[in-house]
Amino acid sequence: MAVKAPQLIDLLQQLIALPSISSTMPTLDQGNRHVINALANWLENLGFITEIQPLNSDGSKANLIATAGKGNNGLVLAGHTDTVPFDENRWNSDPFKLTEANDRLYGLGTADMKSFFALIIEAIRDLDLSRLQQPLIILATADEETSMSGAKALNASHLPGARLRSLASLPA
């Protein structure tokens, strides 16, 4: 049987190894396209339909919209793929290598927000998507740490089939 997506720790290792620094300083700014492509590949292998939304002229920055199921009022799981710039002198390990120490995992993006995507994939890995009664939509955006260009592009595209809830409308 073909592996649809790597196991959780392998997912984390691969995502952390893909640089995606967003910065207002052009010398530090990087694209997120490698992260988007990896997520799209894994989610397609799990049965999602994916759309990559380029955000700049060279295609180095993009959003990912991955959808499973049909209909309206779908659940959206959204996060960003970019990380902040870092100071190597403040790290005790390689920020682009997942490192375990003291029962914790370290690497640029482990807390915000690459691990989120690895956990989503782990949670849906064995889900029978044909049984979904409403869509499940996974969004991965670019440049949340700086310009919010990814979120702005998604907002302009009026994502169909998704429900919108403000935090104020959630039960206490």
What is the C-alpha separation between 12 and 6, in angstroms, rounded?
A: 9
- The pLDDT-based confidence of 68 (bands split at 50, 70, 90) is very high
3-state secondary structure the chain: CCCCCCCHHHHHHHHHHCCCECCCCCCCCCCCHHHHHHHHHHHHHCCCEEEEEECCCCCCCEEEEEEECCCCCEEEEEEECCECCCCHHHCCCCCCCCEEECCEEECCCCCCCHHHHHHHHHHHCCCCHHHCCCCEEEEEECCCCCCCHHHHHHHHHCCCCECCCCHHHCCC
49-54 β-sheet, strand order: 49-54, 62-68, 136-141, 75-80
Q: Is the pLDDT of residue 172 over 50?
A: no
What is the C-alpha separation between 149 and 85, in angstroms, rounded?
A: 17
Residue entry with tokens 């902040």: 84
Instruction: At 104, list the tokens.
Output: 């914790």
Q: Which CATH class name applies to 8-88+95-163? A: alpha beta
Give me the catalytic one of 94, 126, 144, 145.
144
- The pLDDT-based confidence of 4 (bands split at 50, 70, 90) is confident
What is the C-alpha separation between 32 and 114, in angstroms, rounded?
A: 11
Q: Is the dihedral of CA 161, 140, 53, 126 positive or negative?
A: negative
Kindly list the domain boundaries of the chain, sorted by start residue: 8-88+95-163
Concerning whether 82 is annotated as a catalytic residue, the answer is yes
Give me the catalytic one of 51, 58, 82, 94.
82
pLDDT tens digits for range 102-146: 999 999 999 989 999 999 999 999 999 999 999 999 999 999 999
Residue entry with tokens 């009022």: 73
Q: Is the pLDDT of residue 80 over 60?
A: yes
Query: For a pLDDT cut of 70, what percent of the chain falls above it?
Result: 90
Predicted TM-score of the model (pTM): 0.90
Q: Is the pLDDT of residue 159 over 70?
A: no
